[in-house]
Amino acid sequence: MKLQRLSLKDQAADILRERIISGQIPAGSKLVEREVADLLGISRAPARDALMQLEKEGLVVSKLDARYVIELTERDIRELHAVRLVLERLAVDLATQHTSAHNRSAQVETLHMMEDAIARRDRTAFALADVEGHTLIWEQADNLHLKNTLHSMIGPIFMFMANSAELYDWEETYDLHRNLVECINSGDRSAALASIERHMENSCERSVGVFRVRHEETENNHRVEQMNSP
């Protein structure tokens, strides 16, 4: 895969981000700068910059020997959601004060993207539309530091849920998004705040539930391997 346009770092980050979120690059995978460069047909400098960008977004973590795709524990999930709730409430509160025809149209378009992804059962497209929907709200809040902070912590949550999309109710997630968009577009701050609180509570409990299912599957697989080993 060769990248021809000018911003190699951004293109490389986009490709790696999509592959991580979709599960093509699984959690815990080692990301060696040289191998990433070879995979994308670019030099090591933009590959390194792309990995640094994903590290800022929380999708990649540095260890002594290399960078790795993040792996979340149940505690990580709960703590990330606790911080996210505070930040999302502020973003939603500010967003209701900056409604416009352009913003309303953009948000409705993300709902159409989610509907299309549900119809096609495309978990990657659904996750990306989910990310886009929240990103639009953060941009509408018109606070650069808030947006950057949310971007830096939200990646791991979306990655985790996108890789387990078959285990939760896509329609329920869509309904929560639709209600949130409607409340923000109406300019009703109280309703919008109540909506984002329901949304975050659902996201946290759903994520914890998925984590426990995945953890139990892993433990069962380990037990089977031990039983079958000589």
> Which three-class secondary structure string do you get for 200-223?
HHHHHHHHHHHHHHHHHHHHHHHH
Considering only CA atoms, which of 7, 79, 91 is closest in space to residue 42? 7
CATH 1.20.120.530 placement within the chain:
74-218
d(C-alpha 50, C-alpha 17), whole Å: 9
Q: Give the pLDDT score at 18.
A: 81
pLDDT at res. 75: 93
- Determine the 3-state secondary structure of 119 from DSSP: helix
Q: What is the DSSP string of 15-68?
A: HHHHHHHHTSS-TT-EE-HHHHHHHHT--HHHHHHHHHHHHHTTSEEE-SS-EE
- Pairing, β 60-62 against β 67-69: antiparallel
For residue 154, the model assigns a pLDDT of 75
CATH superfamily of 74-218: GntR ligand-binding domain-like (1.20.120.530)
Q: Which amino acid is at 199?
A: H
- For residue 167, the 8-state DSSP code is G
Backbone angles phi, psi at 194, to 5 degrees: -65, -35
For the chain, how many residues are written?
230
Q: How far apart are CA 10 and CA 6, in angstroms?
A: 9
Tell me where in the chain the CATH 1.10.10.10 domain(s) lie.
Answer: 8-69
Do residues 153 and 77 lie in contact, with contact meaning Cβ atoms separated by under 8 Å? no
CATH number of this structure's domain 8-69:
1.10.10.10
The pLDDT, as a whole number, for residue 220 is 79
**DSSP character at residue 69:** E
Task: pLDDT tens for the chain, 230 residues: list them.
Answer: 454 544 888 899 989 988 887 778 888 899 999 999 999 999 999 999 999 999 988 889 999 888 999 888 899 889 989 999 999 999 999 999 999 999 999 999 999 999 999 999 887 788 788 888 999 999 999 999 999 888 877 778 777 766 666 666 889 999 999 999 999 999 999 999 999 999 999 989 888 888 888 778 777 777 777 777 66
Q: Is the pTM of this model over 0.85?
A: no
Residue 171 and residue 175: Cα distance in Å, rounded?
6
The token duo for 81 is 């959601």
pLDDT at 163: 65
